[in-house]
Structure 1
Amino acid sequence: MSYLTKAGARFRLDIQNIPKHRLPYFKKLQDNTQPAFIRPQIDYDLHSEGTIPTDFSKLKYLVGDRVIITKGQKQGNICKVSRHVEHGGYVLDENGPTSTVVVPKEFWTEGQKSHVITFPKPVTEDQIRLVAEIEDSQTGQLKTVAVENLEFNGSYFDEDYKKVLPYRSVHGEPDLVIPYPRPEAKEDGPLSTEVGEVRERSFFVESIAKDLIPQEALLTIRNPKSKWRRGKLTRTEVKKLTPPAMPLTDVKKAYLAELQEKALKPTNVITEEMKAFLGEKIIKHEAVKLQQLNEIRQAKKNLNL
């Protein structure tokens, strides 16, 4: 849920600020309030972000890797990784573990005919091991082994993934490099460009004064009746953008009441008589100051003589 302001942030539950000893309570509350078909299938830390990393060095197994299940009912089955899920989970193919749940009819997918469905159950890294083909040092033949752990060293440019990837090898044996699975080939779309023509320039600006977009095509790009061009905010938007007023303390209320009382009092108006009186006082004051200045000057002259 997005918020236009931070006015309601203090009312939201931020799981990151919850102490670690309180997490089991919220985990139990989540399991009791969510139905089985929505409930997470793997245990995870509520403080973790849970996003799927894009860095290959942080993904122990990739889509297409062959793995062997080491724990659970499907122990010993060799499967392929189908996709990644949040919080470090892996979904395997049809040979992997599954879960059967009851789904209400409101959540049925297209073609579903039963309330009971079976779908793949994700597994964690400690439940699977990578299966790779390694050349036997004695016989020279390829043999299929389960790799206990992996490590990533160095880097190279992979032509299939079109990016720089680290070398994936057996932990403690940097020479035993395990290649990454090849990604699925994607068909070029109608707007795709050939690899050899990507860096060729095909558009040149002819004039900086003439608009490149024809006048007849402007309405197809800029909709003059769009709701985003109305220039006005609705009452709901204004309410969301306006933070709530903080309650006033008793001292603040008394201070504001005193200011209102002072504002209601009549202001003193200077009359003509007051102006004349003040003018006479100023003239007398200036005359006295001028007399004192003349006396000082006369005294200085007498001293010089």
Structure 2
Amino acid sequence: MSYLTKAGERFRLDLKRIPKHRLPYFEKLQRETQPPFIRPQLEVDLHADGAVPEDPKKLKYLVGDRVLIVKGAKTGNVCKISRHVEHGGYILDENGPSTTVVVPKQFWTEGQRSHVVTFPKPVTEDQIKLITQIEDDVTHETKTVAVENVEFKGTYYDEDYKKEMPYRMVYGDDDLVIPWPRPTPKEDGPLSTEVNTVRERTYFVESVIKDDIPSDALDSIRKKHSKWRRGKLTKTEVKRLTPPEMPLTETKKAYLAEREAKKQQPRALITDEMKAFLGKKVREHEVKVIKQLEELQDL
């Protein structure tokens, strides 16, 4: 029953709302009450958003990058980044640091045969350095070096990632651009469209009145008992869809009444005598204008 779960949310401890001077107590309480196999391996900032970002600039290193471990028991090992974890952590391959814990049988995964489990331990950004290959200026030979830091300048469209990617270069040297690792290619599924035909138009509207979908198949596409298909609106929905009427001022009401009265008045018909009189006045005005132009030319 979901309503019981929602009712209990107000009694749940939200660590993000605890004052900073009280955080050490609750962090100590978590360490003492949580078993090692579910205890977080990284230092967690409870007041910060620990989600894995999508921006490559914030990730700094992507899956497939070769890195050198500079801190910890595995210092000097060259590894590859396998995945990102929350709160800015990286999981490395089998050459990276690992931890061994005892897991109760009720928490075993499929295929597990022992209580003792070894799994990779996440590392932080300050524990690794990016490895890249550069060309020596003197010998012109390619050598592998560890980069102290990287920076990002400018963007380009990457065909493999299918999005805009920033240029990653050695900090302080814009000429040494470090390429991003190539992502693992994904196999096309049975419903995938080939790249060469993805922009080919295959559907053409033949009629704006007749629907191409048979009426018997509509129930399998749309929700049969949807409230929007019943053909009736409730009083609340009618109230929401009806715009409010703005009140009119007395001046506006008088203007609208006068305009309506003018519409009701009969229109006067123009007789032949009126047309002749108007034509005479127009010709007299044309003669007068021509005479003024001649006088101005003589000047």
Q: Which amino acid aligns with 2:126?
A: D
Distance 1:104 1:6, change over 3 A: closer
Distance 1:54 1:3, change over 3 A: farther
Residue in 2 that maps onto 1:140 = 140
The count of aligned residue pairs is 226
Q: Which amino acid aligns with 1:138?
A: V
Deviation track 1:88-145 (CA, whole Å, cap 9, x = no partner) reads 0000000001111111111111110011110011100011111111111121111111
Q: Which amino acid aligns with 1:111?
A: G
- After superposition, the CA RMSD in angstroms is 2.6
Residue in 2 that maps onto 1:98 = 98
Distance 1:88 1:201, change over 3 A: same
Residue in 2 that maps onto 1:38 = 38
Deviation track 1:256-300 (CA, whole Å, cap 9, x = no partner) reads xxxxxxxxxxxxxxxxxxxxxxxxxxxxxxxxxxxxxxxxxxxxx
Distance 1:5 1:31, change over 3 A: closer
Q: CA deviation at 1:206?
A: 2.9
Distance 1:117 1:10, change over 3 A: closer
CA–CA distance in 1 between the matches of 2:108 and 2:64? 29
CA–CA distance in 1 between the matches of 2:104 and 2:217? 48
Residue in 2 that maps onto 1:154 = 154
CA–CA distance in 2 between the matches of 1:73 and 1:36? 19
CA–CA distance in 1 between the matches of 2:162 and 2:68? 28
CA–CA distance in 2 between the matches of 1:160 and 1:198? 17
CA–CA distance in 1 between the matches of 2:184 and 2:175? 27
Residue in 1 that maps onto 2:65 = 65
Q: Which has the higher contact order (CA 8 A, sep 6+)?
A: 1
| Deviates most, 46-55 or 27-36 | 27-36
Residue in 2 that maps onto 1:189 = 189
Q: Does 2:107 align with 1:107?
A: yes
Overall identity of the aligned pairs, in %: 71
Q: Which amino acid aligns with 1:119?
A: F
CA–CA distance in 2 between the matches of 1:212 and 1:105? 57
Residue in 1 that maps onto 2:200 = 200
Q: CA deviation at 1:213?
A: 3.0
Residue in 2 that maps onto 1:18 = 18
CA–CA distance in 1 between the matches of 2:138 and 2:102? 54
Residue in 1 that maps onto 2:278 = none
Scaled by the length of structure 2, what TM-score is found? Answer: 0.69
Scaled by the length of structure 1, what TM-score is found? Answer: 0.68
Q: Which amino acid aligns with 1:64?
A: G
Unaligned runs of 5+ in 1: 230-305
Distance 1:29 1:169, change over 3 A: same
Residue in 2 that maps onto 1:89 = 89
CA–CA distance in 1 between the matches of 2:224 and 2:203? 29
Q: CA deviation at 1:8?
A: 6.8
For residues 1-305 of structure 1, the aligned pairs below 5 Å read 11-222=11-222
SS in 2 for 1:16: helix
Q: CA deviation at 1:205?
A: 2.8
Q: CA deviation at 1:48?
A: 1.3
After superposing on structure 2, the runs of 4+ consecutive aligned residues of structure 1 that deviate more than 6 Å are 2-9
SS in 2 for 1:177: coil
Deviation track 1:36-65 (CA, whole Å, cap 9, x = no partner) reads 111111112111111111111111111000
